[in-house]
Chain A
Amino acid sequence: MKKLALLALALPFIACETTIDFEGELADPQIVVSPVDYNSSSEDYYGPYGFHPDLDTAEIVLSTSINILDVGYPEPLGDASVQIRERGGAWRSFVGSNVDGYYTLSPFQFEEGKSYEFKASRTNYESVSGDFSIPVKVEVDDVRLIRKVEGDTMIGEPNYWEYEVEFTDPGGARYYSMSAYLVTTQFPHEVISRYVITSTSPFAQALSDGDYYYYTDALYMNNSLFEGRKVSITIRVQQPLVPIPSYSFAIVLRSLDEHAYKYNSSIQRYNFFGGGGDPFSQPVQVYTNIQNGLGFVGGYSLDIELD
C-alpha cells in the first residue's frame, strides 16, 4: 500500500518517452566537398581550410554524407568528375583517386582578386557546384609585444603574452582570421608549432562564454565594426616557449572570402562547443555553399608578420 501511495505521488513527475517518425531534409546521401592541403610544398602555415595563391596544386576530398538516423562513418567518394575554372574560363579537371576520395589538379595557381567556379558529379548522387574567390591580401602594418601577463588561476586562465596587431581594412565586406606561430628565423615558412590565441577586443569576435575568452587556433572576424579603418587588435598568445635566438614569432593575417570565413568559423565553433547534444546550449550550424551538397569551397590569401 505504501509503495502504491508513493507511486501515485510520483505519477505527475514521470516522463513518458516514445519514438517518433523523422524524415529530415537531407535523408539521402549528399556529396561533401572539402578543400585540403596535403601535398603542396609551398607553405606550412596550417590553419583555416580553403584554396590560396601560395598553392601550386588544387587539392580536394569528396566524401558522402549519411542520414542522421544512420550509425556509421561516412565514406570517401571515388569515381567522381571534379572540375574547376576561373569564372568565365575553361573548365579544368581534377585527377581522382578511387579509394580515398582525393582529387588533385596540378599545376594550378590561384590568384588574388579572382573568382572561381567548382563542380563535381558522380553516379547515384546529385551533381554539386559552388563559387568562391581569392581575396586580395591585406597586410599587417605592425605587431608589437605589449606585456607578459600571469593569468588568473582562479578561473583557470593560463599565462599569456599580449600583442597588438595593426592593419588597415580596405572597406567593403571583408573577412579575416588571425593566427600565431613559432617559426625558424632563417626559414620563416618552417613552422615549429602553432599557438592558441584569444582576444577580448570586440573586433576580434573570439569565442567566449561571457566570462572567459577561449584560446583557439585562430581568431575569425569580419569588419562590420571597423570597415574601411585602421584597426588595432590586442591578442593574447598563450605563453610561448622561452624565446630561442634562432626562432621567431609570426602573426599570420588571412583575408578570407565569405565562404571560407563562414565555414571555418562555424566549424571552429562546432568543434569547440561540441555541436548539438546539450539541451541547455544553442545549436551550432556548420556552413555550406555547395549547391545540392555539403562542405564548402572557399579561398583566402595571407600575410605573415614576424615579431
Chain B
Amino acid sequence: MRKTLLLLFLCASAYGWGQTHTVNGYVSDASSGEKIIYAYVYDRVSGIGTRTNDYGFYSLNLTGDTASLLVSFISFTPQEISMKLVGTDIPLNIELIPDNLIEEVLIEESKTEVPIQEESQMSTIRLDVRQVRNLPVLLGETDLLKTIQLLPGVQSGSEGSSGFYVRGGGPDQNLVLIDGVPVYNVSHLFGFFSIFNGDAVKSVELIKGGFPAEYGGRLSSVLDIRMKEGNMREFHGEGSIGLISSRFTFEGPIWKDRTSFIFSARRTYIDALVAPLIAAVEDGTSVGYYFYDLNGKVNHRFNDNHHLYFSIYNGLDKFSASDEYEYFDSGTKYTDRFSSGLDWGNTISSLRWNWRVNSSLFLNTTATYTRYKFNVDVEEETKVEGPGVDYREFFAANYLSDIEDYGVRFDFDWFPHPNHEVKFGGAYVNHTFRPGINTFESSADSSAGLDTTYGSTIQYANEFQIYARDNFDITDRLKVNLGVHASLFNIGSENYTSVQPRVSARYLLNDKSSIKASYANMTQFLHLLTNQTTGLPTDLWVPATENIRPQQSWQVAMGYAQSLPWDLQFSAEVYYKEMSNLIEYQEGAGFFLGSTDWQSKVTVGRGTSYGLELLLEKKVGKTTGWIGYTLSKSTRQFDEVNFGNPYPYTYDRRHDLSIALTHKLSDTWTFGAVFVYGTGNAVTLPTAQFVDVNTGQLIEYVDQRNNYRAPSYHRLDLSFTHTKKVRWGESIWQFGIYNVYSRQNPFYLYFQNTVDGRELRQVSLFPILPSVSWSFKF
C-alpha cells in the first residue's frame, strides 16, 4: 500500500516538474460579458493550444519567456496578445468582440477554433446557433433538434418530428442536457417541435461516439446544450412573432459586471387559431391545445474565482377537450358534461458554483433537479333535475406518470502540465419513478361512491458515478484522450455496477490532416417504453430491474479529418456499435394499454449498427453550412419478436444525405437552403392472406418485422432572411418555404379496401408550406 501511495505521489509530482507559467482565465464576449465556450486559445510561440471549458475557463501551461496568444471563436474577431511570461500564475481574462460590431473582419484561416485535424475528440459536432437561425424551418419555428437531424449519423423520425436517432440508437439513448441537467422529454406538440427556445441557447454540442468519460447514463449520444447567462452590461431583448407561436427574451445586468439575468418565454397560439374552426363545427364543444416554455437564469460573479449560477426551465403541453349539452323534456332538465385533458412537461433546474481553485484547477459543482410528468384526466357528469327528480352521476379518472431526479455533481478541470488536460469528478442522482398511477372517483345517487387509487408502485433508485480522463500528447503527432467512467445503480435490493473504459486518439499525418480512432463502453440504467414512431408523451421512463437489466453498448470508430482550402473541413468516420439489453414491446402490445406491470409486455434483445459518415463543412465566410452523408445499417434482435430472428431497425436508413447552406447575399439579406434525402423507413406490412382452417379466421401474414421500405424521403426548404438595423435595434423578417416542390413524403402507410380490391395508401403531412416570421432585437 505504501509503495502504491509513493508511486502515485511520484506520478503526481512529475506533472509539476519543470518551470511552467500557467496563463489562465476566462474568455468572454466583450459586448455582453457572456462566457464563451470552446473558444480557442493558441500560443504561436510554443505551438500549444487549448480551448475554454463549458464555463469559459482556460488554463495554458507554457514554458519559455514570451507568449503570443491568439484567441478566437466563430463569429468573433480573433485577438492576439503578446506577453512576457513572469511568475507561475498569470491570470488573463480575454474579451472577444463579436463580428457584427466592427466594420471589417479579418479571420485567419483555420484559427477560428481548434482545427478539426487537431481535435482528439471525434464523432463530435458543434453547431453555430447563429447559423441555425438562418436555416429554413417548418412553419418558421427555429428548432435546434431539426437542425441536429441534418447532421451525418443522426436520423429524424417521422415527418416533422423533432425526435432524433443517433447511429442506430433509440430516442431514449440520447443524453440531452440543458446546462448539465438531463431532459427526459424534448418534444412539444407530439414531436413536431422541440422544447428548446433558440433565443436562449448559447451553445450546442453533439457527441455520437468516443464519449468523454464525464458523460454516462445513455448509449448513443450526448446533446449538451448550454443556455445564455444574461448580459452583464446592458439590457437587451429579442423576440419573434411566428405563424403558430411567439417568443420573447429579455436580459440584462442586475449589478453591472457582477450579476445578470436572462428570461425567455415562448407560447403557441394554436388554441386561438383553431377555436373559430371548432366553434364553427358544433356548439358546446371545445378543443384546445397550447404549449409554452419558460427559461430563466441568474448568475453572480463574486470575483474571478467564484461564480454562481441558477437556472430554471419549465415547459408544458396542454391538450383539452370538453363537450356539454342540456335539454328540457316535460319540465325536466337533462345535463351531460364531459371533459378530458392531457398535459405533459418538464421542469428543470440547476444551481451551479464555479470555483477557480488555482491557476490550474477548476471546480464546477452543480445541484440538479429534473422532472418529467404526464397526466391524463377524464370527467363525466350526468344530471337530471326536475319535479320530483334530482339525480346526479359522476365519474372521474386520472392517470399520472412521472420521473423525478435530484442530483449533485462535481467536475474538476485540472491542467497539471503543458501536455495534459485532466478532468475528473463524480455525481449522485436520486431517481423517483412513478410509471403509472390511476385514480378513480365515481358516485351516483343510487349507489355508494367509490374513490380509489391504484397502479404502479413508486420506485426509488440511486445512481452514483465517478470518472477521470486525461487528454494528453504522447508525441507531437499523437494525442490520446484516455478515461474511465464507473457507475453504481441501486434499486431496491438490486445493485448494478459498471466500469466503462473510454479512449480516443488522434494522429497528425501532417499539419492539415489526421486520423482518429475511439472506443467507448456505455451503460444505461433507464429504459423508455416507447412506440418508437409517434413521439407520444405517453412514453414511460422505467428503471432497470431484476429481470430487465441495464442497457449496454460498445462502439468503435475510426476517422479521417482534414482542413481544406477556403476554410472547408472534411471528416470521414466509420463506426460499429453493439447494444444489449434493449427492450421492445411484445408483439400485439398496445401503446395505450396500462403499464402497471410493464415488464410483462416487453421483450429484451440486442441491436447492432454500423456505417460510414462523411461531412464537408464550412463555418466561416459568406457561405457557410455543411454537406453530410451517411451510409448505415442497423438491426434489432429480440427473442419474442420476429421469432427471434434479426430484423431492420425502424430507422435503419441506408442512405441519408443532408445539405444545409446559408449565404450572405448582402448586408441585409441572407439566403438559406436545406435539402434532405433519406431511404424510406422500415415498416411492417402484411404480404399475403390465408385462412386458419381451425377458426376460419382470415390471417394477414407478415413474413418479417419491418419487411417493407416506405418510399424515400426528400425535401427542399428555402428561406430568405432580411436583417435591418433600425433606430431601436434590429428588425428581422424571415420568409420561408418548407417542402418547395411539395413532395408527398410518407408519414404512415395503410391498406384500404376499394371496389376493385385493396390498395396501399400513404398519408403525408406537410405539402408546400410558406411561412413568415418577424423577429426583433433591441
Q: Is there an interface contact between A74 and B589, defined as CB atoms closer than 8 Å? A: no
Given contacts A34-B693, A271-B695, A275-B700, contact A282 B759 (CB under 8 A): no
A301 contacts B by Cβ under 8 Å: no
Looking at chain B, what size class is its interface with the partner chain? 35 or more
Give Cα distance in the complex from A283 to B643, angstroms: 13
Q: Is there an interface contact between B693 and A61, defined as CB atoms closer than 8 Å? A: yes
Q: Is there an interface contact between B701 and A294, defined as CB atoms closer than 8 Å? A: yes
Q: Is there an interface contact between A272 and B693, defined as CB atoms closer than 8 Å? A: no
Given contacts A6-B277, A262-B643, contact A283 B705 (CB under 8 A): yes
B750 and chain A: residue at smallest CB distance: A279
Q: How far is the CB of A253 from chain B (nearest CB, A)?
A: 21
Q: Is there an interface contact between A273 and B592, defined as CB atoms closer than 8 Å? A: no
B residues near A32, Cβ cutoff 8 Å: 690-691
Complex interface residues of chain A between 19 and 39 (CB less than 8 A to chain B):
19-22, 24-27, 30, 32, 34, 36
A269 contacts B by Cβ under 8 Å: yes
Complex interface residues of chain B between 649 and 706 (CB less than 8 A to chain A):
684-695, 697-705
Q: How far is the CB of A277 from chain B (nearest CB, A)?
A: 8
Q: Is there an interface contact between A26 and B703, defined as CB atoms closer than 8 Å? A: yes
The residue that B590 contacts in the complex, of A63, A269, A270, A281, with Cβ under 8 A, is A281
A276 contacts B by Cβ under 8 Å: yes
Q: Is there an interface contact between B589 and A286, defined as CB atoms closer than 8 Å? A: no
The residue that A283 contacts in the complex, of B593, B684, B698, B699, with Cβ under 8 A, is B684
A residues near B689, Cβ cutoff 8 Å: 65-68, 70, 74
Q: Is there an interface contact between B705 and A285, defined as CB atoms closer than 8 Å? A: yes
Complex interface residues of chain B between 66 and 97 (CB less than 8 A to chain A):
none
The residue that B760 contacts in the complex, of A20, A61, A154, A269, with Cβ under 8 A, is A20
B320 contacts A by Cβ under 8 Å: no
A10 contacts B by Cβ under 8 Å: yes
The residue that A11 contacts in the complex, of B585, B698, B753, B769, with Cβ under 8 A, is B769
Q: How far is the CB of A162 from chain B (nearest CB, A)?
A: 18
A residues near B767, Cβ cutoff 8 Å: 11, 14, 16
Complex interface residues of chain B between 570 and 608 (CB less than 8 A to chain A):
585-598, 600-601
A270 and chain B: residue at smallest CB distance: B699
B757 contacts A by Cβ under 8 Å: yes
The residue that B587 contacts in the complex, of A11, A64, A66, A282, with Cβ under 8 A, is A282
Give Cα distance in the complex from A17 to B765, angstroms: 9
Looking at chain A, what size class is its interface with the partner chain? 35 or more
B531 contacts A by Cβ under 8 Å: yes
Q: Is there an interface contact between B764 and A17, defined as CB atoms closer than 8 Å? A: yes
Give Cα distance in the complex from A12 to B770, angstroms: 10
A residues near B273, Cβ cutoff 8 Å: 9
Give Cα distance in the complex from A25 to B708, angstroms: 9
Q: How far is the CB of A195 from chain B (nearest CB, A)?
A: 18
B residues near A19, Cβ cutoff 8 Å: 759-762
B138 and chain A: residue at smallest CB distance: A12
A49 contacts B by Cβ under 8 Å: yes
Give Cα distance in the complex from A9 to B595, angstroms: 38
A residues near B331, Cβ cutoff 8 Å: none
Q: How far is the CB of B706 from chain A (nearest CB, A)?
A: 9
A209 contacts B by Cβ under 8 Å: yes
Give Cα distance in the complex from A30 to B694, angstroms: 18
Interface residues of B (CB under 8 A from A): 139, 243-244, 273-274, 276-277, 280, 440, 450, 452, 454, 531, 534, 547, 585-598, 600-601, 639, 641-643, 684-695, 697-705, 707-708, 711, 744, 747-751, 753, 757-767, 769
